[in-house]
Structure 1
Amino acid sequence: LGAASFFEGIDYPDRLLEMVILTRLPFDAPEAAITKARYERLQAAGRDPFTEDALPRATLRLRQSFGRLIRTETDRGIFVVLDPRFITTRYGRKMQKSLPNIKPMTLPLTDMPGYIKMWLDRA
């Protein structure tokens, strides 16, 4: 499980990292003062804070967290996003498309441990 600091500046070589689990999409907290200020500035200019600020920032963090797992062409791993918005919203599907060379799948939580073990054992 990764915290916000996990998204950038860390390299786990070889097979030290085999799985990343995101419990939620990495959007900024909307109540944070800096976030509010950015949103207010965009709104005052007649622009949409979600599509012009929140979504690009969250997509970048998502790609950075994926990048912790897959650093080279030979790396492999499991990237799990538990936030249902990742598959149920248009912006979630757009975020999926930003990830390189993935095979998305949806599994019930109860099936995940067995599938993950099977996938990791194949390595």
Structure 2
Amino acid sequence: DKFFSILELFGKIDTEKGILDNPPSGVFTIEDGQNLVDNLTWILCLCKSKKERKRLGFVAFEESGNGNYRFTFNQDCFDALDSSLYTLLQLADGFEDAGKEQLAKQTGKLYGKLLKLVE
């Protein structure tokens, strides 16, 4: 079962970024604008678990309430992808509501790229 899961991931994750010790830290808001968008490139990168350092997982992007966003560790690539896609839509809407159309467009572009991984 794990073997076929690994085969499904082939070509879908960016291994050239290496393995992160931790997901990007901190809490981000719409006001963090370009800094937040720049960090979105870490979504689905390989990452070590905080608890079990030998265990690898993936960076996920989640909303943590009241317009706060953060990056988390998820051991399942497809769960990380699913939660990140949902949160990217929320973020794009938040940027549009704040009048930050360029950031909304950049976020939407990444959403489209990640959505293709589901196919």
TM exceeds 0.5? no
**Rg: which structure is higher?**
1
TM-score normalised by length of structure 2: 0.32
